[in-house]
Amino acid sequence: MRVYLFIAAIAGGVTWLLTPLVRHLAIHIGAVGKVRARDVHTVPTPRMGGLAMLLGFAVALVFASRMPFVSGLFVNSRQAWVVLAGAAMVCLLGVADDLWDLDWMLKLAGQLLISVFAAYGGLQIISLPLGSLVTASPTISMAITAFLIVASINAVNFVDGLDGLASGIVAIGGIAFAIYSYILARSSASFASMATLIDVAMVGICVGFILHNWHPAKLFMGDSGSMLLGYLITCASIVMTGHLDPASVGHKSLYLPVFMPIMLPILVLFLPVLDMSLAIVRRLRKGQSPMHPDRMHLHHRMLRIGHSVQGAVLILWGWAALISFGSIMILFFKAVYVLVGMLLAAVVLTVLTMSPYLLRRAREIRQEEKGLVWTTSQHASGRAEVLSHDARTESGEDEPAAAATAVPKLLARPEEVKEPTAAGRADDTAPAGMLADGEDRLGR
């Protein structure tokens, strides 16, 4: 375990040290992302952070190949170097997209070619553990491998919309994978595991990059980073499950989380896969391309609910951890206890997810209630005044006031009452046209 932690520390340290240099390089060559309508950031920010992550992963593998505990993984197998070569090609494809915004069809074609290269180099699902060992033909094995790699690459790319979101989700999934692959390796003749090695190195580069990518980010990982992480986590899952024989697993509970290799990337990348699936269905229903950008991703919805960028990222990390670690908790606890714990955690996360909306609705309801109380009180006050006035009138309390206004008129002297003059009488009986003409002259 200490060897794996050391490898993760090397990967994270190298990534953390090289990220500022890659940032300056990205600014120098023009790999700076413009602010688009669908973006959350408001300031142009350099991309191409995946290059620093690739270098951190490569240095970690080189160190691992010289360590006695895991050096045997590099002696009779070229699998590690095939994974590294594919990672370099995926990262370079992403760098090209960060620089020139490649067409999605061209990018997809490149992903397919790289996945075929990795499968041809030995990174394949040789067997499918469907209750018993089912050997796949080379063609089917290559097709399944290519599909898983391309799907995971695009799933991570889709979810990379907030600072630290994609790297955190992949790191959580990588930790879950590393724990399970380490347990499987301990039940074998050799404790060393290529899947665990890839996982811990991947977790290291994610943690090292998050230190520079936390909001407000100094550098984006870009497609070079998101595609690299999707590729690596799928390679680790294929290495772990593609060669697994159910008969070699002593306890059935150990086999349960990896019952089907195709399900593993979905479990640890549940949120990215869910986001990608919803986006494809949504865009196809509108008659758009599956790669057409929009602002309807899960992280966009979190921001519209009212979360801050950091709050949305932390809650989505929580959902990823619930699904990833829930699948391996069966190794240590009964399934019933795990299910109850996951349900309770899901309730807490649901409340946290909806809390800004619930708080906003509570404030609106209180304001509506205050307005209704004020309107009712005003209406009741006005009605009380009207009733009071009517009551005084009926009881004669207002008669002295009326008499007080009538007495001066009765006592007025006759000469004070002016008789209407002839002109006045003429005016009273004059046609409307003459009055209008006189008023017009007076006005001028």
Distance CA 276, CA 124 (A): 24
Confidence of residue 430 (pLDDT cuts 50, 70, 90): very low
pLDDT of residue 251: 47
Confidence of residue 71 (pLDDT cuts 50, 70, 90): confident
DSSP 218: S
pLDDT of residue 40: 66
Helices (H) and strands (E) in the chain, counts: 17, 4
280 pLDDT exceeds 60?
yes
Distance CA 119, CA 125 (A): 9
pLDDT of residue 435: 39
Q: Among candidates 222, 240, 173, 164, which has minimal Cα distance to 202?
A: 173
Cβ–Cβ < 8 Å for 231, 250: no
Give whole-number Cα distances, 183 to 59, 168, 176, in Å: 25, 23, 11
Q: What residues form DSSP beta bridges with 133?
A: 129
Confidence of residue 439 (pLDDT cuts 50, 70, 90): very low
β-pairing, 32-33 vs 133-135, is unpaired
Q: How many residues does the chain have?
A: 444
Q: Among candidates 110, 81, 78, which has minimal Cα distance to 94?
A: 110
pLDDT of residue 361: 81
Tokens describing residue 17: 């040290």
Tell whether omega for the bond before 257 is within 30 degrees of 0, i.e. cis: no
pLDDT of residue 392: 62
pLDDT of residue 163: 87
Distance CA 219, CA 204 (A): 18
pLDDT of residue 330: 77
32 pLDDT exceeds 70?
yes
Does 37 or 343 have the greater pLDDT score?
Answer: 343
DSSP 137: P
Spatial CB neighbours of 390, under 8 Å, sequence gap ≥ 6? none
What mean pLDDT comes out for the span 28-49?
78
78-98: pLDDT as tens digits? 889 999 999 999 999 999 999
Give whole-number Cα distances, 281 to 3, 115, 284, 285, 302, in Å: 44, 24, 5, 6, 20
What mean pLDDT comes out for the span 399-415?
47
382 pLDDT exceeds 50?
yes
Q: Which helix (H) or strand (E) holds 45?
A: strand 45-46
pLDDT of residue 50: 94
286-300: pLDDT as tens digits? 888 787 777 778 877
What mean pLDDT comes out for the span 363-373?
78
What mean pLDDT comes out for the span 182-200?
82
Cβ–Cβ < 8 Å for 263, 287: no
Confidence of residue 227 (pLDDT cuts 50, 70, 90): very high
Confidence of residue 125 (pLDDT cuts 50, 70, 90): confident
The phi-psi region of residue 126 (left if phi > 0; otherwise alpha if psi is between -120 and 50; otherwise beta) is alpha
pLDDT of residue 65: 92
Confidence of residue 165 (pLDDT cuts 50, 70, 90): very high
For the entire predicted model, the pTM comes to: 0.77
301 pLDDT exceeds 50?
yes
DSSP 36: -
Other Cβ atoms closer than 10 A to 405: 9
Q: Which amino acid is at 319?
A: W
pLDDT of residue 438: 41
Three-state DSSP class for residue 69: coil
Return the percent helix, strand and coil in the chain, to nearest 5: 75, 0, 25
Distance CA 234, CA 170 (A): 10
Q: What percent of the chain has pLDDT over 90?
A: 34
